[in-house]
């Protein structure tokens, strides 16, 4: 992985250091997390789906990122620990992707690490 990659347990940690970078977080993919990723001006954001939840609250942040043209996806809560970005990166399996991330090859069932290797390849 290269220096374009930032691994943070909370997406809030990307504010000020995430501009233009691929940010792997342990945060849920809810609306607040999406807002923080927008504020951080990331190129690509990865979250935990936190079990998706009621009204898809755990992935609700993907849509506003898509609206801003930013690729974003989640890994399954069954594959990685919520709140631990290293687990997201090392163990995560993609569960949901917005259209911008899908255009880059993200798809449900793909190991995050494998996709990132292709993306950065």
Buried b (16+ CB within 10 A) or exposed e, 48-85: bbbebeeeeebbbbbebbbeeebbbbbbbbebbbbebb
Do 47 and 33 touch, CB atoms closer than 8 A? Answer: yes
Instruction: Tell me the pLDDT band of 3, cut-offs 50, 70 and 90.
Output: low
Greater confidence (1 vs 72) lies with: 72
* Global pTM value: 0.95
28-34 average pLDDT score: 97
The total of other beta-carbon atoms located within 10 Å of residue 98's CB is: 25
Instruction: Tell me the pLDDT band of 120, cut-offs 50, 70 and 90.
Output: confident
C-alpha R_g of the chain: 12
pLDDT at 1: 47
């Amino acid at each position: 992985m290269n220096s374009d990659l930032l691994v943070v347990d909370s997406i809030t940690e990307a504010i000020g250091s995430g501009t233009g970078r691929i940010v792997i977080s342990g945060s849920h993919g809810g609306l607040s997390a999406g807002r923080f990723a927008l504020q951080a001006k990331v190129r690509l954001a990865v979250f935990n789906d936190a079990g998706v939840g009621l009204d898809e609250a755990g992935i609700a942040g993907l849509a506003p990122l898509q609206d801003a043209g930013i690729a974003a996806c989640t890994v399954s809560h069954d594959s990685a620990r919520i709140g631990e970005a290293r687990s997201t990166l090392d163990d995560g399996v993609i569960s949901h992707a917005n259209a911008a991330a899908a255009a880059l090859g993200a798809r449900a069932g793909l190991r995050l690490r494998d996709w990132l290797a292709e993306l950065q390849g």
